[in-house]
Amino acid sequence: MSQHQKIYPVHDPEAPTARPTAPLVPRGSSRSEHGDPSKVPLNQRPQRFVPLAPPKKRRSCCCRCVCYTFCFLLLLVVAVGASIGILYLVFKPKLPDYSIDRLQLTRFALNQDSSLTTAFNVTITAKNPNEKIGIYYEDGSKITVWYMEHQLSNGSLPKFYQGHENTTVIYVDMTGQTQNALSLRTTLEEQQQRTGNIPLRIRVNQPVRVKFGKLKLFEVRFLVRCGVFVDSLATNNVIKIQSSSCKFRLRL
């Protein structure tokens, strides 16, 4: 009859000890096999990220207002430019032309107080070459006669309207008085003897309003600068104009 023998496992004292896989301390403990968290350096601790606050609505409203303003100004510039372009294509504006045709010295006298009194009669021809543009010459104009830096006489142009493709002859009387003119008269006489002519400058500052068809625009100014060479400054004689040239400029 066979016998059954039961064999039980016996702990071998020489066998290597198995390394525990579970934590050596309970959960929630401040110490573990990885060390004390309170002694970990600050630069190695996990950082907490705080979400940034959303931008204020006031800033977005300001940016929106600036954007709307910029767009409005851009549209305004485009509209004005388009209007000017249309007016230019329709009316084809041309600059007016001016010339000094006649110059008469009616008074040229040196007074006892060394002042010089002068009086001129000037004939100016103004041409408007435009087919669809009229020019209103308004009050407040000024015309002056100069020799070097000395103003000899001054006057003003009459108020009138110049129509399309029109040529207008303007007669202007000018008077003036220059103080301490002894040296000025001597210089004029020497200039005439040396060169045979006297250079004069005539300046015109004229406010005008331009009419495009039935549209009358705002007031602008015509600035005319003329250089005139005359043979002499003889009183009560028509001065011979040897040469003249005029330049025109528009000022808003």
How much is the mean pLDDT over the chain? 82
Q: Higher-confidence residue: 24 or 206?
A: 206
Residues of 146-171 as b/e, b for ≥16 C-beta within 10 angstroms? ebeeeebbbbbbeeeebeeeeebebe
Confidence category of residue 239, pLDDT binned at 50, 70, 90 = confident
Q: Who contacts 108 (Cβ-Cβ below 8 Å, separation ≥6)?
A: 116, 117, 118, 119, 233, 234, 235
Confidence category of residue 75, pLDDT binned at 50, 70, 90 = confident
Count CB neighbours of 248 within 10 A. 14
User: Three-state DSSP class for 234?
Assistant: coil
Tens digit of pLDDT for each residue in 5-47? 555 555 555 555 555 555 555 555 555 555 555 555 555 555 5
Q: What is the pLDDT of residue 61?
A: 77
User: Three-state DSSP class for 102?
Assistant: strand
Assigned token pair, 183: 């040296």
d(Cα 184, Cα 96) in Å, to the nearest integer?
A: 35
* Residue range 104-129: mean pLDDT, rounded: 92
d(Cα 175, Cα 109) in Å, to the nearest integer?
A: 12
Does pLDDT of 54 surpass 70?
A: no
Count CB neighbours of 104 within 10 A. 16
Burial class (CB in 10 A: 0-12, 13-18, 19+), 15: exposed
Which among 200, 198, 244, 248 is positioned nearest to 223, based on CA atoms?
248
Q: What is the pLDDT of residue 83?
A: 75
Burial class (CB in 10 A: 0-12, 13-18, 19+), 58: exposed
Q: Which residues face 107 on adjacent strands?
A: 119
d(Cα 135, Cα 221) in Å, to the nearest integer?
A: 11
Write the single-letter amino acid at 203.
R
d(Cα 3, Cα 78) in Å, to the nearest integer?
A: 116
Give percent above pLDDT 70 in the chain. 75
d(Cα 113, Cα 98) in Å, to the nearest integer?
A: 37
Does pLDDT of 115 surpass 90?
A: yes
Which of 6-20, 83-97, 176-190, 206-220 is least confident? 6-20
Does pLDDT of 60 surpass 80?
A: no
Does pLDDT of 67 surpass 80?
A: yes
Does pLDDT of 76 surpass 50?
A: yes
Q: Who contacts 29 (Cβ-Cβ below 8 Å, separation ≥6)?
A: none
Q: What is the pLDDT of residue 9?
A: 55
